[in-house]
Structure 1
């Protein structure tokens, strides 16, 4: 049994009090009273792209949820779209646990970015949000301009966090600190300025998009 499956089986009961059973390989079945069973694949991949998603779906036609167990797992936008179109949930282990507990695992999306992604799409000046990665979006505006935005979930993003994001995903115009409880450090803002982007919270982002 793979290490990530062992951890998942052990932690489901701790997290939500459900029962988890190993089916085969990376597959587990989560059984929660008064909720549908969830057939989930527990992946240890560092990145999950469209090819990976298609392979899981072909191998497991009854799949309810694809879990990227590593906290550092990066999800590619095309893979996300395929899963959502097929009615398969995706995201972190915490997302899987919430989905199993609430009975909506098939529609669940990564908890870290779900609210912020929805907020972007519902903001008045925005006409389209194209998801390149779980945390990177190309946002089209009614003015005709577009902005590439990175979502950074750190409590207090540092200069290194901003530089690492830029290095991993390429240039962005805006780094949006989506954690509601913290603020980017002055060093993070300075690092963004050196790279050619702005580091900001939602209120600043709204104004930036409104006037772009």
Structure 2
């Protein structure tokens, strides 16, 4: 909690104070105060989110403070339907400054999530985890897609996602500035999946 308060207070334009338990209050000029729960959990499921909400019914945002925190898809749906934002510490500070804490979602995956939802050939989309999607195309083809945000994913990043979340058809490197390493691409081939950027993924979805 002390680290979270210190980190947020260091951000230009923000103040942070402890309220009680896991709850903090964040202030930003010309924006409403944000009541945020700071969670140290490595994985946040719906039961955990519901427990926080029961303890703090006025919460605006649930922050998974660990960089490695994993969010289940059902948790994301639950929080969005309750008007509670979710995501990393970076997501929280940006949302407090922008005044949209109640609707904010994890900034690492926000744009890639929107790209998938807006792509015309995607008929159905199910979010299993923050970084794992199962999509059904208009052709009837079903694909399981995993997202990796590293600048240059290596073979270990590919294998780690596969080991933690199970087999996928495609691993999408969502970092806009990087590219998968040749080792990552070879690791994907060995596992039986493709490691791609958005332009390659669009072509895969177009022809699947």
* TM-score category (smaller protein): over 0.9
Within the candidate set 158, 161, 168, 1:162 is matched to: 158
Within the candidate set 90, 95, 99, 1:99 is matched to: 95
Residue aligned with 1:182, SS: coil
Q: Do the aligned partners of 1:40 and 1:67 also contact (CA within 8 Å) in 2? A: yes
Query: Per-residue deviation at 1:90?
Result: 0.2
**Unaligned segments of structure 2, at least 5 residues:** none
Within the candidate set 140, 144, 148, 1:148 is matched to: 144
Aligned to 2:20: 24
Q: How many residues align?
A: 208
Q: Do the aligned partners of 2:73 and 2:129 also contact (CA within 8 Å) in 1? A: yes
**Unaligned segments of structure 1, at least 5 residues:** none
- Please, what is the CA RMSD of the aligned residues? 0.7
State how far apart, in whole Å, the 2-side matches of 1:66 and 1:156 are: 29
Q: Which has the higher helix share?
A: 1
State how far apart, in whole Å, the 2-side matches of 1:23 and 1:13 are: 15
Aligned to 1:34: 30
Query: Per-residue deviation at 1:146?
Result: 1.1
Aligned to 1:62: 58
State how far apart, in whole Å, the 2-side matches of 1:6 and 1:108 are: 23
TM norm structure 1:
0.97
State how far apart, in whole Å, the 2-side matches of 1:16 and 1:198 are: 41
Within the candidate set 194, 197, 203, 1:201 is matched to: 197
